[in-house]
């Protein structure tokens, strides 16, 4: 369960996030939809305590991410905007490194890494060095390392960026599986199709504010547009930066 | 994928373990990188000693050559002082005709030294007045000093001889004209003469620590940011101090390896310097080598934390490399000062990192004793500065901007 209450953040004169509130429930996929530059990445970075909000609160399973950033991070698995791997380590070593940093003991580490390598279909690259991985292989490894400590809450910043169609489909299936295990999934995207196809709940962000929240059906009803795409454009005010 | 029980977050990572995880990973990862490995085990340690041995062999060879060479002395106006010229020739100096423009020849470095005898030499000589000769030379040229000294010595001998003759002719005891005789006694021992040449040695050793750790200092900071693995690392539950401690110590291990190989390479390289012919010894006993290691080892940590701090400000690998190439010149300052005017071991030099290594290694290389207290003070102050810089690096990593660079 992730709760965000009235987050504000500015960089110099630029107001990046201007009063964002939403909640992402366990067993649900929540999509953060907005055009590029709407404040999605900044919101997520405050959520996993990389940036401090100027104002507002973030609660991860009730733990205050501002007051106790390290405790909050233990409850979060994060696929951040930057997802670089260590090229001279194998896929497995990359995942294990983050398991150790999360305090897993060797037995837990082996069990969790094995389970993720199987679930993400990474056997072929398990013992290969990350140098020369395809985009899909890189994202898989980055997701495995984000989930190695078995977090209840999973945050992904534009997880399908750069993936081809097959990899995107596999990713969606994987996210549904995580949801069905009872986890809280929060991901950001600027791609409407993806949000429509995957989300139980949508939070639409524009200009650093939440302009709408609800199920895709509720959003269609509220805007009076039968077409979800038209509904989004109406909410955001323009179709700039939004990919259909 | 999830078996059984609910999602209990793993227990808080044992804080003491975090640095070890980072440390082991950085050691292993960089051991797989040919650039990191070769700079720590090859270029770093060998650059200094090889450069040093080559430089010293060149200087020594040159000095010997100059001292033994038959000296050719261009003389302008030889016809004004035939007796003087004949005297010089009996002393093994080959007098040749000077070029048309003697001053230009010295300025252009075509000649080391030229003797100019003015036309009024004979006239003043016969009147018993001091006759003037000019020795054209460039004092800023080290190599020219040996022929200049030789010619000056011969001219002074000639002047003294004639002076004695003149006094005797007038019936005065020559001793009356020499109320004071300065006798030079060279008290330098063979080792101390060699030690002067070794004033630059500490820098060459310190250099190997900087070169050996440079790659890791960049790779673990600016490199990590450039390849976009910094953000994932910083959002693990590990405190920044643990992450930074692991990175710093891994860098220090590579720097220390480079340093130790450098000291050994130097102890070996020094045997190939042709010092025997010059009559002084240049060798380091195993005990001296061990002592040098003890004195210089803390520099590995100091170099690592200084380089890490600088690299932490850089946005990219290349930018960090540029800064660090300048940083490497800083430790040369104490050695250059030492070479210009050797300092004794005083409390302030022993308490100043990099200065203390310069002074102590210089002292050890001269074969003189250093006290355990001096070594301890040097080690302690150097480690203190290293830890202070390491703490600055941690502070830099606690800032939000660290993710974005700068």
A61: left (phi over 0), alpha (psi -120 to 50) or beta: left
Q: Do B10 and A87 touch (CB under 8 A)?
A: no
Burial A149-163 (b: 16+ CB within 10 A, else e): bbbbbbbbbbbbeeb
* Partners of residue B228 in chain A, C-beta under 8 Å: 82-84
- Min mean pLDDT across A59-73, B31-45, B197-211 is at B197-211
- What is the distance in angstroms between the Cα of A77 and the nearest Cα belonging to chain B? 9
pLDDT value of position B88: 86
Predicted confidence band of residue B4 (pLDDT cuts 50, 70, 90)? very low
pLDDT value of position B405: 64
- What is the distance in angstroms between the Cα of A75 and the nearest Cα belonging to chain B? 6
Query: Quick one: average pLDDT of B281-299?
Result: 86
Q: Which residue has the higher pLDDT, B277 or B106?
A: B106
pLDDT value of position B5: 44
What pLDDT, in 10s, does the model give residues B172-191? 877 777 777 776 665 555 55
Q: Which residue has the higher pLDDT, B351 or A219?
A: B351
Of the CA atoms within 13 Å of residue B75, those in its CB half-sphere come to: 24
Q: pTM of the full predicted structure?
A: 0.78
Q: Which residue has the higher pLDDT, B267 or B244?
A: B244
| Out of A86, A119, A177, closest to residue B229 by CB | A86
* Partners of residue A76 in chain B, C-beta under 8 Å: 235
Percent of chain B whose predicted confidence (pLDDT) is above 70: 84
How far apart are the C-alpha atoms of B262 and A235, rounded to whole Å?
67
- Per the listing, tokens 């991860």 go with A60
- What is the distance in angstroms between the Cα of B249 and the nearest Cα belonging to chain A? 17
pLDDT value of position B26: 94
Alpha helices by DSSP H, chain A: 40-47, 69-74, 91-101, 106-119, 135-147, 165-180, 192-198, 216-223, 228-236
| Out of A81, A103, A183, closest to residue B10 by CB | A103
Burial A77-95 (b: 16+ CB within 10 A, else e): bbbbbebbbbbbbbbbbbb
Q: Are A155 and A78 in contact (CB under 8 A)?
A: yes
How far apart are the C-alpha atoms of B402 and B234, rounded to whole Å?
10
Which candidate, A159, A113, A78, A106, places its Cα nearest to that of B233? A78
Per-residue tokens: B356? 């203390």
pLDDT value of position B346: 78
Percent of chain A whose predicted confidence (pLDDT) is above 90: 66
Query: Quick one: average pLDDT of A196-211?
Result: 90
Beta bridge partners of residue A188, listed in sequence order: A32, A157
pLDDT value of position B9: 67
* Residue B341 pLDDT > 80: no
The winner for highest mean pLDDT among A170-174, A180-184, A231-235, B37-41 is A180-184
3-state secondary structure of B111: coil
Average of per-residue pLDDT values in chain B: 83
How far apart are the C-alpha atoms of B304 and B210, rounded to whole Å?
7
What pLDDT, in 10s, does the model give residues A55-97? 999 999 999 999 999 899 999 999 998 889 999 999 999 999 9
How far apart are the C-alpha atoms of B265 and B47, rounded to whole Å?
10
Q: How large is the C-alpha radius of gyration of chain B?
A: 31
DSSP A1-54: -EEEEEEEEEETTEEEEEEEEEEE-TTEEEEEE--TTSSHHHHHHHHTTSS--S
How far apart are the C-alpha atoms of A156 and A76, rounded to whole Å?
10
Query: Quick one: average pLDDT of B17-37?
Result: 91
**How far, in whole angstroms, is CA A226 from its chain's centroid?**
28
What letter does residue B74 receive in the DSSP assignment?
A: E
* Residue A241 pLDDT > 90: no
How far apart are the C-alpha atoms of B43 and B29, rounded to whole Å?
19
pLDDT value of position A9: 95
How far apart are the C-alpha atoms of A176 and A170, rounded to whole Å?
10
What pLDDT, in 10s, does the model give residues A207-234? 899 988 998 888 878 877 777 777 777 7
Query: Quick one: average pLDDT of B230-251?
Result: 94
Beta bridge partners of residue B9, listed in sequence order: none
Q: Do A115 and B1 touch (CB under 8 A)?
A: yes
What pLDDT, in 10s, does the model give residues B151-168? 888 888 888 888 888 888
Asked whether the ipTM of the predicted complex exceeds the cut of 0.85, the reply is yes
Nearest CA in chain A to B231: A82
Q: Do A88 and B25 touch (CB under 8 A)?
A: no
Per-residue tokens: B338? 């030492």
Predicted confidence band of residue B91 (pLDDT cuts 50, 70, 90)? confident
Nearest CA in chain B to A50: B235
Q: Which residue has the higher pLDDT, B126 or A88?
A: A88
Query: Quick one: average pLDDT of A117-131?
Result: 94
pLDDT value of position B1: 43
User: What does DSSP say about strands A209-214 and A201-206: parallel, antiparallel, or unpaired?
Assistant: antiparallel
């Amino acid at each position: 369960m992730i709760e965000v209450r009235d987050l504000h953040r500015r960089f110099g004169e630029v107001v990046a996030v201007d009063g964002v509130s939403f909640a992402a429930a366990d067993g649900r996929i929540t999509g953060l939809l907005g055009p590029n530059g709407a404040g999605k990445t900044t919101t997520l970075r405050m959520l996993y305590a990389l940036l401090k909000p100027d104002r507002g609160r973030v609660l991860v399973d009730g733990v205050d991410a501002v007051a106790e950033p390290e405790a909050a991070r233990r409850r979060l698995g994060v696929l951040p905007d930057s997802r670089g791997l260590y090229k001279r380590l194998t896929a497995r070593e990359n995942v294990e490194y983050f398991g150790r940093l999360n305090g897993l003991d060797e037995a837990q580490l082996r069990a969790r890494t094995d389970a993720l390598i199987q679930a993400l279909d990474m056997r072929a690259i398990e013992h290969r060095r990350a140098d020369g991985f395809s985009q899909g292989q890189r994202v898989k490894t980055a997701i495995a390392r984000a989930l190695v400590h078995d977090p209840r809450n999973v945050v992904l910043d534009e997880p399908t960026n750069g993936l081809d169609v097959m990899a995107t489909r596999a990713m969606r299936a994987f996210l549904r599986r995580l949801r069905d295990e009872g986890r809280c999934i929060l991901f950001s995207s600027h791609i409407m199709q993806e949000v429509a196809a995957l989300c139980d709940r949508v939070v639409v962000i524009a200009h650093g504010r939440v302009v709408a929240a609800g199920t895709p059906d509720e959003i269609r009803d509220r805007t009076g547009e039968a077409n979800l795409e038209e509904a989004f454009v109406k909410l955001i005010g323009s179709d700039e930066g939004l990919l259909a | 994928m999830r078996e059984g029980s609910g999602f209990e977050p793993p227990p808080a990572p044992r804080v003491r373990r975090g640095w070890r995880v980072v440390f082991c990973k950085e050691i292993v990862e960089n051991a797989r990188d040919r650039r990191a490995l070769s700079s720590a085990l090859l270029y770093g340690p060998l650059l200094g000693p090889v450069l040093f041995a080559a430089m010293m062999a060149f200087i020594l060879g040159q000095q010997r050559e100059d001292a033994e060479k038959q000296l050719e002395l261009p003389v302008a106006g030889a016809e004004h002082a035939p007796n003087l010229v004949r005297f010089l020739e009996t002393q093994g100096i080959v007098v040749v005709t000077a070029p048309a423009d003697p001053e230009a020849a010295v300025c252009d470095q075509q000649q080391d030294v030229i003797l100019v005898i003015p036309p009024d030499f004979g006239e003043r000589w016969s009147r018993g007045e001091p006759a003037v000769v000019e020795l054209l030379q460039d004092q800023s040229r080290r190599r020219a000093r040996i022929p200049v000294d030789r010619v000056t010595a011969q001219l002074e001998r000639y002047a003294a001889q004639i002076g004695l003759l003149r006094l005797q002719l007038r019936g005065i005891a020559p001793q009356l004209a020499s109320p004071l005789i300065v006798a030079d006694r060279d008290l330098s021992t063979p080792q101390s003469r060699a030690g002067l040449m070794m004033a630059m040695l500490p820098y060459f050793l310190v250099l190997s620590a900087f070169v050996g750790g440079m790659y890791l200092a960049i790779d673990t900071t600016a490199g990590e940011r450039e390849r976009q693995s910094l953000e994932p690392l910083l959002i693990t539950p590990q405190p920044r101090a643990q992450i930074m401690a692991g990175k710093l110590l891994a860098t220090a291990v590579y720097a220390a390896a480079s340093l130790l190989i450098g000291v050994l390479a130097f102890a070996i390289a020094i045997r190939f310097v042709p010092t025997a012919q010059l009559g002084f010894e240049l060798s380091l006993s195993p005990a001296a080598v061990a002592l040098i290691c003890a004195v210089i080892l803390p520099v590995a940590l100091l170099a690592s934390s200084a380089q890490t701090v600088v690299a932490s400000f850089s946005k990219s690998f290349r930018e960090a490399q540029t800064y660090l190439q300048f940083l490497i010149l800083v430790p040369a300052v104490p050695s250059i000062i030492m070479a210009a005017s050797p300092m004794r071991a005083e409390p302030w030099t022993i308490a100043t990192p990099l200065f203390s290594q310069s002074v102590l290694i210089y002292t050890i290389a001269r074969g003189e004793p250093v006290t355990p207290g001096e070594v301890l003070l040097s080690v302690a102050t150097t480690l203190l500065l290293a830890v202070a810089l390491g703490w600055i690096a941690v502070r830099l990593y606690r800032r939000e901007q660290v993710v974005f660079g700068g």
